[in-house]
Amino acid sequence: MRRKRIIFLLGSILVLFFLLTGRLMQIQLFQTESFSSHNINLIENSVEQRTQQLVIDEGRGVIVDRNGEELTHYTKNVLILFPFLKNVEWDIEKVADIIGVPTYTLASTLENAKKPIVFGEKKPVELTEDQMNRINDLKIQGVFALSRKYPLKEKLAQQFIGLIGENEKVFQKRYPDKVKGTKQKIGITGIQKTFDEWLIAEQPSKLIYHVDAIGGPLFGVDVKYLAPANPFYPLNVKTTIDGKIQGKMEEILEKREVNKGGALLLDINSGEIVASVSKPDVNVRSPFSDNGSTNYMYTELIPGSVFKTVITAAAIEKEFVNEERKFQCDQDIYGNPSDRPLGNINIKDSFAASCNRTFADLAKEMVEKDKDIIEQYAAKLGLTGDLSWSGDLFHYSDFKHFQADTGRIFKNEEEKDDQNYVSQTAIGQREVRVTPLAVANMMATIARGGEKLSIKAVDSVEYANGTEMFTFDKQTLEGEKISPYTAMKLQQYLHEVVHGKVGTAKALHSAALEVAGKTGTAETGKFKDDNQEKQLLNKWFAGYFPFDNPKYALVVVNMDVQEYEGGVYPMFLDIVNAIASLED
């Protein structure tokens, strides 16, 4: 009996020994970079425990504008000091003399330092190239003059560029072969997310030295600089954004007190997004707590009378109308007296004055002949569908620059059989939903004479030395398009809106560059104020300029405003004039 107990005890100890040995092998040999279900990087954590380090560059790729200017970070030449300097003799006088500060200032900065510091801390002193070279020539361990990257506090095109953050689970799912980088930041929205695979850091650049339990140097004062060995990385994503125009547009929307809405500018020749502003701004402390993270330029909205452009295109091309025909614009879409009587006028003046009755009548006539005609012409104008540049790229079979809503005209087929529904659809109400991006694209399509282009958000991806890894060429958007004649007539009508006798946008006649475009006012809901029911509106203006030699298509929208507030003409005018000034 006693012998059995001893054998059992020895056997248990042996089993325990093998279990512990297996666990140690798992920790030390097999799962050093992805331990447990949480994929903990044991090597990385152990290094962190016995080192002090200062990150110079996280290693994530850079997002730049079309001129190569950084949109997310800036670089500054700074002086870096390690805390062990306060316990050793070093040439503090020479360093202080080079940067032009008293010796005691450097000494006092180090006095309470427990980690590597950037001299000046909250407002680092910026060094010249000459100062950097002179400091580094001294070859003092623990003293470095380096170029360090800092995130911009005021970022341009926040929703367009997108957000980054740490998310271990998403990182592991997205990059299962890069488990060791679990603490790296990944793209969550916008360009940061779409191009994350090219922006993800390979390895950060940092200064590092080993310390003991109380923070003292473990192997002397030998500080090492660790950086990626590959000179071609990290990659740069070169967007189509023009930083100067973007900055001006953001200033203008701020000045005009746009709380919800935005503006988007397209390059007509290339189909590139030149500037994109969405309000409200991103709440940096809590980006997903409100609508700040939403890019309203990619979001389906009620367009109002901007949509009459589609009805006009279909009516002209299918010969439902000519300029001899008159419409009863003293009546609303239901045949009742109009709040804004305009008399009997033709299609040209109806478009300029935005007569609802004209387009309701035309839409009913056309849908009776062809139920799908409105949807067909919305697509022909590039107002609906997937507008993003797309194509095969590396292991992606259908890579896209962005994800935007595709728009809709009718909610279901039954609505096309109801004349009231069709009438409301014709004036951009009921179930019509389109994105500001698509509205700008429609204007660009008309300005180009009917040619449809895919929209680009990125021009190219570049290596760190500036050479191109790959570039995105101009791309034709598939599908049917309007005829050159229809495009020409639409150009004339859009011009009349601003420059005609009955045009609704005469306020833009004084713009520095000649504008053509269309107004839109859409009812979005009601609210009570002082026991009175009031209407909320989306106010739009979309157009292109200069009229004789079109270069830009621009859309502005002010969302959920009341009738006598939030006008969009001053905003559109300011943007056109700012662009004219920048390009003068």
**Which pLDDT score is estimated for 278?**
97
SS (H, E, C) 359-383: HHHHHHHHHHHCCCHHHHHHHHCCC
Instruction: Classify residue 20 by burial, with Cβ atoms within 10 Å: 0-12, 13-18, 19+.
Output: exposed
Regarding whether 320 and 232 lie in a shared domain, the answer is: no
DSSP string, 462-493: E-TTS-EEEE----BPPS----HHHHHHHHHH
Active site residue 338: no
Written as one letter, the residue type at 551 is: K
CB 431 within 8 Å of CB 414: no
Task: Indicate if the alpha-carbon torsion angle 576, 492, 428, 326 is positive or negative.
Answer: positive
Beta strands (DSSP E) in 95-252 are: 117-118, 143-151, 164-165, 186-187, 205-210, 224-226, 236-239
Measure the CA angle with vertex 422, ends 417 and 428; round to 5°. 150
Q: Are β-strands 236-239 and 458-462 bridged in parallel, bridged antiparallel, or unpaired?
A: antiparallel
Distance (Å) of CA 249 to CA 128, 262, 391: 33, 9, 31
Domain limit, last residue, from 216, 237, 258 = 237
Does 19 map to a domain?
A: no
Cis before 228? omega within 30? no
Regarding whether 326 and 437 lie in a shared domain, the answer is: yes
How far apart CA 95 and CA 73 sit, in angstroms, is: 28
Does 125 map to a domain?
A: yes
**Residues facing 278 on adjacent strands:** 262
Regarding whether 109 and 88 lie in a shared domain, the answer is: yes
**Which pLDDT score is estimated for 26?**
56
Does 23 map to a domain?
A: no
**Which pLDDT score is estimated for 42?**
43
CB 182 within 8 Å of CB 172: yes
CB 478 within 8 Å of CB 398: no
CB 320 within 8 Å of CB 347: no
pLDDT digits (tens, 9 = 90+) for 507-540: 999 999 999 999 999 999 877 777 778 899 999 9
CB 80 within 8 Å of CB 54: yes
Q: Look at the chain and report how many structural domains it folds into.
A: 2
Query: Looking at residue 420, which CATH number applies to its domain?
Result: 3.40.710.10
CB 120 within 8 Å of CB 78: yes
Burial per residue of 221-239, b for 16 or more beta-carbon CB atoms within 10 angstroms, e otherwise: bebeeeebeeeebbbbbbb
Domain limit, last residue, from 221, 237, 253 = 237
Regarding whether 258 and 220 lie in a shared domain, the answer is: no
Does 34 map to a domain?
A: no
Domain holding 54, by residue range, is 50-159+207-237
Regarding whether 304 and 442 lie in a shared domain, the answer is: yes
How far apart CA 294 and CA 299 sit, in angstroms, is: 8
Does 29 map to a domain?
A: no
Task: Indicate if the alpha-carbon torsion angle 161, 165, 170, 171 is positive or negative.
Answer: positive
SS (H, E, C) 243-303: HHHHHHHHHHHHHCCCCCEEEEEEECCCCEEEEEEEECCCCCCCCCCCHHHCCHHHCCECC
Query: Looking at residue 65, which CATH number applies to its domain?
Result: 3.90.1310
**Which pLDDT score is estimated for 212?**
58
- Could you tell me the pTM of the whole model? 0.86
pLDDT digits (tens, 9 = 90+) for 57-85: 888 889 999 999 999 988 889 998 888 88
Regarding whether 304 and 211 lie in a shared domain, the answer is: no
**Which pLDDT score is estimated for 181?**
47
DSSP string, 510-564: T-SS--EEEEEEEEEEEEEETTEEEEEEEEEEEEEESSSS--EEEEEEEEEE-TT
Does 560 map to a domain?
A: yes
Does 190 map to a domain?
A: no
Measure the CA angle with vertex 290, ends 304 and 182; round to 5°. 125
Q: Which two tokens stand for residue 109?
A: 């900065």
| Active-site option among 276, 305, 354, 454 | 305
**Which pLDDT score is estimated for 466?**
82
H helices present in 26-167, as ranges: 42-49, 92-99, 103-111, 129-137, 158-161
**Which pLDDT score is estimated for 316?**
97
State which H helix or E strand residue 447 sits in. helix 436-447
DSSP string, 88-114: S---HHHHHHHHT--HHHHHHHHHT--
Regarding whether 248 and 230 lie in a shared domain, the answer is: no
Domain limit, last residue, from 197, 221, 237 = 237
**Which pLDDT score is estimated for 182?**
52
Cis before 280? omega within 30? yes
State which H helix or E strand residue 426 sits in. helix 419-426
Regarding whether 459 and 388 lie in a shared domain, the answer is: yes
Regarding whether 231 and 319 lie in a shared domain, the answer is: no
Q: Which two tokens stand for residue 97?
A: 């003399």
Written as one letter, the residue type at 95 is: V
Regarding whether 211 and 262 lie in a shared domain, the answer is: no
Does 267 map to a domain?
A: yes
Regarding whether 272 and 147 lie in a shared domain, the answer is: no
- Give the residues of the chain that fall short of pLDDT 70: 1-4, 8, 18-19, 21-52, 121, 178-182, 210-227, 229, 289
Regarding whether 211 and 356 lie in a shared domain, the answer is: no
